[in-house]
Structure 1
Amino acid sequence: MKILVTGGLGFIGSHAVVALQQKGYDVVVIDDLSNASITVVEGIKRITGQAPIFEQLDLRDKEAVFQVFDKHGDMEGVIHFAASKVVGESMNEPLAYYENNFFSLINVLSAMKMKGLDKIIFSSSCTVYGQGEAMPITEEESIKTALSPYGNTKQVGEEIIVDLAKAYPLQAVLLRYFNPIGAHESGCIGESPVGIPSNLIPYITQTAVGVRPYLSIYGDDYDTADGTCVRDYIHVVDLADAHVRALEYLLKKENTKQIEVFNVGNGQGYSVLELVQSFERVSGIKINYKIVKRRLGDVDKAWASTAKIERILGWKPTKTVDDMLASAWNWELKKKNYNL
């Protein structure tokens, strides 16, 4: 059975490709390499013994997207990761985010409709909830006005899928996940952003190896125990497994609704300073950090209720925060080159 993974050489996408191949699926990867490296293909091959089929293209190119769907006409489902995803960057470049995230999704859905393909897992985000009214956040939490263009692309992306399902027999799972961190235990793939990291963990690990002089912590005056933002962190391998389970939920026709929504998280909140302390614990290295001004678009705290996904999909997170930080550190130590 062949599955398309868009953004499949990115951080989460590459781990999902590994999980799919280990389950026996053939995988077609589309990636434009704008925030990923072709070397990830070799990392996937080292883990699974097989390289995925790779198609380099920009999903905004509708003709190219349709050509790939024609070329691989036997695909059974799509996992759609491909998107620009940095909150702060989206505040500065809103049009770029709307163009990339909307056109990419629309072109993929159009190609699916053209080929009669009806199963998609959509990479959504907890950003659709804004600042949650109660913790933990359940799937019944109201959708707030987005605090960033990135968050808005996830909200509207969900709405596009819901609207299409009213006109076409689309089967979709929308996975609203929280903060993925960590790396594959092999150290063959992990988070390797192009340029200066926007996510916390690669910034911590690059600070630890001396690539960065210090870690910037954005604000210490939030309404949390230590003043730093609190987030729910999920190991990327656990998250990849959730995508495979969601896909199989559709492929095995276990779903009773056309559209289903699940939170994916660890079910517990940790502050930025607690993440730093966890890293120091597993690595034995003291992190040099500075408190700087808040970033636009950040909420005080957010962590997930995972009761629904545990009940319906039978999925549970398996990794602790220390596991996550230890795997990220292992990945950093095994990397040979930095894309600075």
Structure 2
Amino acid sequence: MGKILVTGGTGYIGAHTVVELHREGYEVLIVDNLSNSNIKILDQLQLITGKRFDFVQMDLQDIKAVRQLAKLHHNITGIIHFAASKAVGESVQEPLKYYHNNLGGLLNLLTVFDKEINFVFSSSCTVYGQPDRLPVTEKDPVKSAESPYGNTKQIAEEILRDAAQANVNLNVVCLRYFNPVGAIDSALIGELPLGVPANLVPYITQSAIGKRGPIVVHGNDYDTADGSAVRDYIHVVDLAKAHVSAIKRLEKKAAKERYEIFNIGTGKGYSVLEVIAAFKKTTQQKLDYKIGPRRAGDIAKIYGDVTKAEQVLGWKAKLGIEEMMASAWKWEKYVKANPFE
């Protein structure tokens, strides 16, 4: 096996994917600029796996640094690219930050790693906008993005598609995933947002443990069963395993085309209020919440058809909403007892 470069590898999804890659026997190199993650995650990964992973702190927008990385690690055969800014609301307020960071780093990777390379891209269901039908499939149209963040994912997919068509050495899988939540069974790694969480579940757990005030439900007047927004939530461990499945598919040259797209989710939608109820039921914790205005860039509801991932990629989500909530709460309690600050 060659070496797999994991960009954003100290981040939430990246760190869980590093664990799954290691369990499958891969050598891993982690790159991260630590703008939205913590260096102590390397210690946590060592506790889980018994291995100290190679790590380079760098910004992928620095093409000289990317060239130096490729020179020093010439045995890289695969890249799993997570490194990106990811908050929908922030992207509306700071669009240029998102275009520079999310597209500049990708362009530099593709420019420098122009030999034969397997490339798995962290895409998002945001590329579908508000779908005309549900569940949304990979064949449904990509719509005008509701946020700059979503637009960077759309543009990145177009860049990768065009690059794969032009470069016979580049093989790409784009994973359009839905809302990752939860944590590894040991609770040694999990979602660790800097500052106030932009995502629902870490806000729920921080509220439950007393770190935050009441949860704000952003809108209760959507066209959904209870008026709150509906999303397809997926356990982060299932999601991490999907990236390993994608790398293996590329290594086996099983794809008929050099550019493929897969939805990665559970195929089931939960409303914000349903997630709050599931957390309370699973953990027996009390939660306070209040209704607030809709949030810029949000859509009413989305959940995916994951048939293609099951039949072609050979991957299927195994963990349900109860495991997601229980593991997220276990992680929150771990962080309280073992602060990362």
How does the TM-score come out when normalised to structure 1? 0.98
CA distance, structure 2, for counterparts of residue 24 and residue 90 of structure 1: 37
Other-structure match for 2:154? 155
Equivalent residue of 2:233, what SS?
strand
Other-structure match for 2:142? 143
CA shift for structure 1 position 117: 3.4
The letter for the 1-side match of 2:323 is D
Report 1:79-158 matches (<5 A).
Answer: 79-113=80-114, 116-158=115-157
Other-structure match for 1:235? 235
CA contact (8 A) 1:16 1:240 kept: yes
CA distance, structure 1, for counterparts of residue 266 and residue 308 of structure 2: 13
Equivalent residue of 1:27, what SS?
strand
Identity of aligned residues (%): 51
CA distance, structure 2, for counterparts of residue 9 and residue 269 of structure 1: 28
CA distance, structure 2, for counterparts of residue 13 and residue 146 of structure 1: 24
CA distance, structure 2, for counterparts of residue 166 and residue 300 of structure 1: 35
CA contact (8 A) 1:87 1:148 kept: yes
1:263 matched to 2:278? The reply is no
CA distance, structure 2, for counterparts of residue 53 and residue 339 of structure 1: 21
The letter for the 2-side match of 1:105 is L
CA distance, structure 1, for counterparts of residue 256 and residue 141 of structure 2: 23
Other-structure match for 2:43? 42
Equivalent residue of 2:15, what SS?
helix
The letter for the 2-side match of 1:279 is F
Other-structure match for 1:244? 244
CA shift for structure 1 position 339: 6.6
Equivalent residue of 2:91, what SS?
helix
- Which stretches in structure 1 are left out of the alignment for 5+ residues? none
- Which stretches in structure 2 are left out of the alignment for 5+ residues? none
Report 1:11-90 matches (<5 A).
Answer: 11-90=12-91
CA distance, structure 1, for counterparts of residue 19 and residue 80 of structure 2: 13
Equivalent residue of 1:174, what SS?
strand
The letter for the 2-side match of 1:180 is P
Other-structure match for 2:210? 210
The letter for the 2-side match of 1:47 is I
CA distance, structure 2, for counterparts of residue 285 and residue 69 of structure 1: 48
CA distance, structure 1, for counterparts of residue 84 and residue 201 of structure 2: 20
Equivalent residue of 2:61, what SS?
coil
Equivalent residue of 1:54, what SS?
strand
What stretches of structure 1 move > 3 A for 4+ residues in a row? Answer: 336-340
CA distance, structure 1, for counterparts of residue 92 and residue 201 of structure 2: 21
Other-structure match for 1:288? 288
Equivalent residue of 1:301, what SS?
coil
CA shift for structure 1 position 49: 1.1
CA shift for structure 1 position 210: 0.4
Other-structure match for 2:191? 191
Equivalent residue of 1:327, what SS?
helix
The letter for the 2-side match of 1:269 is G
Cα separation, partners in 2 of 1:89 and 1:338, compared to 1, 3 Å:
farther
How does the TM-score come out when normalised to structure 2? 0.98
CA contact (8 A) 2:182 2:235 kept: yes
RMSD across aligned positions (CA): 1.0
CA distance, structure 2, for counterparts of residue 93 and residue 337 of structure 1: 33
CA distance, structure 2, for counterparts of residue 275 and residue 210 of structure 1: 18
Equivalent residue of 2:201, what SS?
helix
CA shift for structure 1 position 45: 1.0
